[in-house]
Amino acid sequence: MVDFSQVHNIDDFKRLARGYLPRPIFDWIEGGAEDEISLHNNRTAFDRVRFKPKTLVDVNLRDQTTELFGKPMASPFAIAPMGNLSLFWPEAETVIAQAAAAAGIPFALSTASAVSLETVAEKAGGRLWFQLYVFKDKKVNDSLVDRAAAAGYEALMVTTDTHMFPKRERDRRNGIGLNLKKTPANIAAVMARPRWLWNVVLSRPMPKLANLEREVSGSTTYEALANYFLSQRYNGFDLDDLKRLRDRWKGKLMVKGILNVEDALRAVEIGCDAVILSNHGGRNLEGSAAPFEVLPEVVDGVGGRIPVLLDSGFRRGTDICKALAIGAKAVMLGRPAAYAVSGAGKDGVGHMLATMKDEVDRVQGYLGCTKIDQLNRDLLLFDRQRPGANATMI
């Protein structure tokens, strides 16, 4: 059992995850591309914006609820899609989705989930979004989209920034991709974490890419599905392909991986319902801007026509409130959920979400805002500003 009285922030959850996971598995979620400059910049970008709080305001009653797509959210954050979560905790995707539903926030399920999208919908409920990695075979894409619609997923989230394979050097050194090579070092690392070994490996069948099992002909072993996932990703995805998905999917369509205002405007023009600014947590393109850095120009460029969300680097309520004050509708939490579920399961995720909610509430009160939509750029001080501008790019 985890003593949550000693778990006060996301770094505490990360410490617990490090002690529970074998080092290569921890590195897989923790690491970034190449020199990990983008990874670290995702965090330091928040330091370049500070608060100018308002006092002499009655903040005795505070409300952080918001709405997205006409439906309420208990807090202005959601769970980002992450693949292979069941390498951290048994059926982690379902567990995290259940915790999100209990907290009144949306959960996004990855195509690379080890639990099928139908199983998550059946066992977790709540507001569910399905994240689509696009494959070369349009029939597979169409089938995944249709299955998500039939299972009641509210939104389809199309990821656009993973058409190339990244160079994640931690993973190369550790011999981990979608599976872990059986090297002496990795065997030793696994044996050093007996609780993880029992939970994930010995007490149940090894997790597979469950969403692909019914889509791929031939062998459905983990290795076969992983090879399909890696070899059949479609790097020709363009605006016409996005339009085709827009026509097929009748629910809300979100485009993830945007870092450019022109791309955001194209998404608006073809009828997408939201854009998600993301650099994949610093795991893909080294040297990419942090989503938080480009948030002001995208918000201003879109001009309120569709909601703008973002992920990558959020660890504190202060980070969330800064993004909301600039104009984001909500943020998405990825690694914090992975840390929290590792070794602590559903209770860990619930505690993490409660911690983030408490931090948002505290910042909101300090800033003199009784409602979350009162956060605005007047409450922020940017390191660099254009002459005469109220707030601009970081």
* Number of Cβ atoms within 10 Å of the Cβ of 4: 18
CA 155 from chain centre, in angstroms, equals: 15
What are the φ/ψ torsions at residue 127 (nearest 5 degrees)? Answer: -90, 115
Catalytic residue among 8, 163, 280, 351: 280
202 vs 36: CA distance, rounded Å: 33
Q: In this structure, which long-range contacts are made by residues 227-231, counting pairs with CB atoms below 8 Å and at least 24 apart in sequence?
A: 229/112, 229/133, 229/178, 230/165, 230/177, 230/178
329 vs 75: CA distance, rounded Å: 11
Catalytic residue at 163?
Answer: no
The answer to whether the CB of 118 falls within 8 A of the CB of 147 is yes
Whats the size of the chain, residue-wise?
394
* Number of Cβ atoms within 10 Å of the Cβ of 358: 12
* Number of Cβ atoms within 10 Å of the Cβ of 372: 22
The answer to whether the CB of 97 falls within 8 A of the CB of 105 is no
- Neighbour-count burial of 84, counting CB atoms closer than 10 A to its CB (0-12 exposed, 13-18 middle, 19+ buried): buried
79 vs 92: CA distance, rounded Å: 13
Per-residue b or e along 190-221, where b marks 16 or more CB atoms closer than 10 Å to that residue's CB = beebeebeebbeeeeeebbbbbbeebbeeebe
Q: Kindly state the DSSP code that residue 326 receives in the 8-state scheme.
A: H
Residues 6+ apart with CB under 8 A from 70: none
- What are the CA-CA distances from residue 378 to residues 77, 135, 389 (Å)? 22, 44, 11
46 vs 124: CA distance, rounded Å: 33
Helix then strand then coil, % of the chain, to nearest 5? 45, 15, 40
Q: Write out the catalytic residue numbers.
A: 280
